[in-house]
Amino acid sequence: MDEVVKKDILVILSKLIEILRVKEERDAAEIKELSNHTMHNASIFQDEDSISIAILIYALSKIIERRENEIDCNPIIKLIKEAKEFIDKNNFDKYRNKVKNIFDFISSIDSKLKLYIVEVIKQAQIKKGSKLYAHGISSARAAEILGISQWELVSYIGKTQLTDVMGGVSVRQRLNYARGLFK
């Protein structure tokens, strides 16, 4: 794991613990902002650790946003602290396993929430994939990093105005270029 990514994840996990300790109305928004912050490293380094943390934090923000009063954050805080200790000691395999445990715990909070959480995690992966794409990573690479299909990602990107905003080469210019290849 890159040292810059490691330091950033440690800071993010510390901030997440701070937010979860005291329940406030703006927790979901603060957690979502943390998730967006991790995308910077993910787009630069294209590493799975930043992406998994971004998805985990985004899923937490959505769950807290919708089910705030139903969630006891203490077990989540404990797991996050343990993950933080493992990454701090450069034990990256145990860290990644702990992150998986956090995902599993979130999924098991409530039988009614399990399907919702799985869908939130899937949607988070697709949304974060579009952010990677917006940072210049190809859709194929973004889908590969996140473990989603390129079709799901491109379908989502097509529904957004992301491709319109990104500018770039017009369809006519691309067509002319392609024709030029075969002359």
Chain mean position to CA 113: 19
Q: Break the chain into its structural domains and give their ranges.
A: 3-181
Identify which has the larger pLDDT, 37 or 90: 90
Helix 111-134 to helix 150-159 angle (10° resolution) is: 70
Say yes or no to pLDDT of 149 above 80: yes
Structure tokens at 135: 């940072």
Which element (helix H / strand E) includes 60?
A: helix 48-67
pLDDT digits (tens, 9 = 90+) for 53-74: 877 887 788 778 777 667 788 9
Length of the chain: 183
Compute the radius of gyration of the chain from its Cα atoms: 18
pLDDT of amino acid 85:
96
Model pLDDT, residue 25: 78
Answer yes or no: is pLDDT of 167 > 80.
no
What are 5-35's pLDDT values in tens digits? 899 889 999 999 999 988 887 887 888 888 7
Q: What is the pLDDT of residue 72?
A: 81
Distance from C-alpha of 53 to C-alpha of 11, rounded to nearest angstrom: 12
Distance CA 125, CA 152 (A): 10
Residue type, 7: K
Buried b (16+ CB within 10 A) or exposed e, 3-38: eebbebbeebbebbbebbeeeeeebbebbbebbebb
